[in-house]
Amino acid sequence: MKPTTKKKVVNILAILFVALLAIIVAFPIFWMIRSSLVSKMEFFRRPPVIWPSKMLFSNFTKAMERIDFSRQLFNSISIVVPYVLGSVITCSLSAYAFARLKFPFKNVWFICIISTMMLPSAVTLIPQYLMYTSFGMVGVDSMFGGKLPLILPAFLCAGGNAYFLFLLRQFFISIPKDLDEAAKIDGAGHFRIYSQIMLPLIKPAVIVVALFSFINCWNEFFNTLIYLQGEKSYTLTLGLYIVNGMRISNYEQVMALAIIVSAPCLVFFLIGNKYFVEGITFSGLKG
C-alpha cells in the first residue's frame, strides 16, 4: 500500500471513530429532546419510538407553568451575573499580581492557593454555613433572600477556584515584559497596564474563565439547596428538582423543563467555543 493511500485510510478511520464517539456522546441529548416532544403514551411505549409522530411543543409551556418560571429565572440571573463578573475580576487581578508584581513570599502564597485544589469543598461546607449564618445572610428574611453566600465567594477569587487563577497567571507570564517596561516609560501604572494592555491580549483565557464560571454557577445545586430557603428565592435548577420530585407521570414535561434549564449553558458554550479553542492553543502575542 502506498504511503498516500495508507494515510487516507488512517484519516477515514479516524474520522469514523470520532463520528462514532460524537454520536454516543450526543445521543442522550437527542433522547432528552425526543422525550420532551412526545405524548405521555409514546413516552412509555415499548419498544420506544425514535421520533414522535406529532411534536408537542405544548410540553414546554406546561412545564414552565408547574413552577414560578419568571421569578426563578430572575433569581438564577441575579446570582450568575455577579458571580461571573466577580470571578473574572478577582481572578484576573490576582493572576496579574502573581505574574507581574513582586511582593514578599509570593511563591509561598501561590503554592498555598494552588494547594486548595486538593481540598474537597465538603470540608469547608459547615464552617462556611456557620459563618454566613452568624452574619445573618442565610434564610428567607436575610439580605437578598440568602443569595449573598452564593455571590460573595466569586469576589474572593471565584470562591477559591485556584484553577482559574493558575490559568490566567500562565497567560500573563507568556506575555513579554517588554510591554510592561514600554508602558511604564509612557507613564502607565499597574492598573492601566492590566486593564488596557494585558486583558485584551489574554481575551480568550478570560472568556474561558467566564464561560466555566457561568456553567458552574448556573448548574449549581448543592449550595443553592442549602442557602436558598423558600421557593421565592429558588433558581431554575431547584425548580427542576421540585418538578422532578413531584412524582408526576408527565415525565415529558420534566424533560422539557430540563432542556430549558440546560439550554443557556449549551448556547454560551457554542458561542464561546472559538475562544475556548484559542484559550488552549494561545501562547503569547499574536502576529
Is residue 17 assigned to a domain? yes
- CB-based burial label for 160 (10 Å; 0-12, 13-18, 19+): middle
My answer on whether 156 and 15 are in the same domain is no
Residues 29 and 142 in one domain: no
> Do residues 11 and 96 both lie within one domain?
no
Nearest to 171 by CA among 152, 145, 132, 199: 199
What percentage of the chain exceeds 90 in pLDDT? 10
What are the cell numbers at 49? 419510538
In a domain, 286, yes or no: no
Same domain, 90 and 134: yes
The model's pTM is 0.83
Q: Looking at the domain assignment, is residue 51 inside a domain? A: yes
Using an 8 Å Cβ cutoff, are 62 and 253 in contact?
yes
Instruction: Flag whether 48 is in a domain.
Output: yes
C-beta separation of 146 from 75 below 8 A = no
The whole-number average pLDDT for the span 154-162 is: 67
Q: Residue 49: give the domain boundaries.
A: 3-56
For residue 287, is it within any domain?
A: no
The pLDDT tens digits for 190-244 are 888 888 888 888 888 888 889 888 988 998 888 888 888 877 888 998 888 887 7
Q: Give me the CATH number covering residue 225.
A: 1.10.3720.10
Q: Is residue 269 part of a domain?
A: yes
Q: Are residues 162 and 251 in the same domain?
A: yes
Residues counted in the chain:
287
96 and 178 fall within a common domain? yes
For residues 94 and 189, membership in a common domain is answered with yes
For residue 190, tell me if it sits in a domain.
yes
Specify whether 48 is located in the same domain as 148: no
Residue 173 and residue 109 share a domain = yes
Letter for the amino acid at 42? E
Shared domain for 22 and 47, answered yes or no, is yes
Task: Report d(CA 240, CA 72) in Å as an integer.
Answer: 10
The C-alpha atoms of residue 105 and residue 225 are separated, in whole angstroms, by: 39
| DSSP calls for 44-111 | T-SSPPSS-SS--THHHHHHHHTTTHHHHHHHHHHHHHHHHHHHHHHHHHHHHHHHH---TTHHHHHH
Residue 100 forms part of a structural domain: yes
Q: How many domains is the chain partitioned into structurally?
A: 2
Rg (CA), the chain: 24
Same domain assignment for residues 140 and 156: yes
Q: 34 with 152, same domain?
A: no
Q: What is the mean pLDDT of residues 36-50?
A: 84
Mean predicted lDDT score pLDDT of the chain: 83
